[in-house]
Amino acid sequence: MADDKAVSVTVVGIGPGDAQMVTLQGREALAQASLVAGFSTVLEVVKPWLDHAEVCPMTYRNQEEVLDYAIGQARQGRACVVCCWGDLNVSARELLERVRRRVDHVQLIPGISSIQVALARSGISLEETLFITLHQRKEAESDLEELVHYLKEGRRHIILLPRPFDLMPPVIARGLLEEGIPAGRPVTIFQRLTMAGEEEWSGTLEDCAAISRELSDLSIMVFPHSPGSISAGQAG
């Protein structure tokens, strides 16, 4: 195990999708790497810095095998970088756990999160906002239970990461309506923030529940704080 503990791997958050938002420290780590692993869509963003490196795309199905190979190469002395979307502290927990299971030394390079971009687009402050992610696999009821609680509490804005592809905004909206959240509750959906084809949609919860078109798996929902709207609904 002593040899394993000497192995170091770097995990880089590459930002929300615009290559210009990759941090300078992240670019430097990529430029110095001889092997870079990550999901194909993530690697596409950092392609300008990968000419010199062995590129190891991975999918949800083969990520264990790809990481085994990458760490094996790191043990042989190669500089290995694993890339993830946005900021690695927001929704890359499972990937980080997979890397940490294989080595004891992991250098973390944070990135700009799409959550920060959504806040900027919405004109709201993080210190007045609650962040909830549905990326972790649970029963749909328990996922929405937390969201319902804080929507009814009504104290802060809420930013929500839906879960691709089974718990997307229309499904979430229908679940919230069934839980008694007012149909007129405003909600904004951002898709593919900072990337080509970025979209913004705003409407009511009822409007969201009626959306029939396919939405991007890179979607974020923003529930702006509406003073009095939730408490008024409860009082009725």
Residue 55's domain is classified under what CATH number? 3.40.1010.10
- pLDDT value of position 141: 57
First CA to last CA distance, the chain: 63
Contact yes or no for 129/119 (Cβ under 8 A)? yes
Looking at the structure, tell me whether residues 8 and 41 fall in a common domain.
yes
pTM score: 0.86
Contact yes or no for 220/161 (Cβ under 8 A)? yes
Looking at the structure, tell me whether residues 108 and 119 fall in a common domain.
no
Looking at the structure, tell me whether residues 199 and 129 fall in a common domain.
yes
- pLDDT value of position 73: 97
Of the residues 83, 112, 141, the one at which a domain ends: 112
The yes-or-no verdict on residue 3 having pLDDT over 80 is no
Looking at the structure, tell me whether residues 39 and 67 fall in a common domain.
yes
Q: What angle do CA 135, 16, 172 make, to 5 degrees?
A: 35
Of the residues 85, 112, 139, the one at which a domain ends: 112
The yes-or-no verdict on residue 215 having pLDDT over 90 is yes
CATH of the domain at 160: 3.30.950.10
Number of structural domains found in the chain: 2
Looking at the structure, tell me whether residues 8 and 72 fall in a common domain.
yes
Looking at the structure, tell me whether residues 126 and 85 fall in a common domain.
no
Which pairs from 227-230 meet CB under 8 Å and 24+ separation?
227/154, 228/154, 229/154, 229/182, 229/184, 229/185, 230/151, 230/152, 230/153, 230/154, 230/181, 230/182, 230/185
Containing structural domain, residue 208 = 115-235
Looking at the structure, tell me whether residues 159 and 92 fall in a common domain.
no
Looking at the structure, tell me whether residues 95 and 122 fall in a common domain.
no
The type of residue at 57 is: P
**pLDDT, mean of residues 84-94:** 91
CA proximity to 153, closest of 226, 50, 62, 82: 226
Here the tokens at position 67 are 């990481």
Looking at the structure, tell me whether residues 159 and 89 fall in a common domain.
no
Looking at the structure, tell me whether residues 57 and 165 fall in a common domain.
no
pLDDT band at 229 (very low <50, low <70, confident <90, very high): very low
**pLDDT, mean of residues 82-105:** 92
**pLDDT, mean of residues 21-31:** 97
CA pair distance 12, 27, nearest whole angstrom = 9
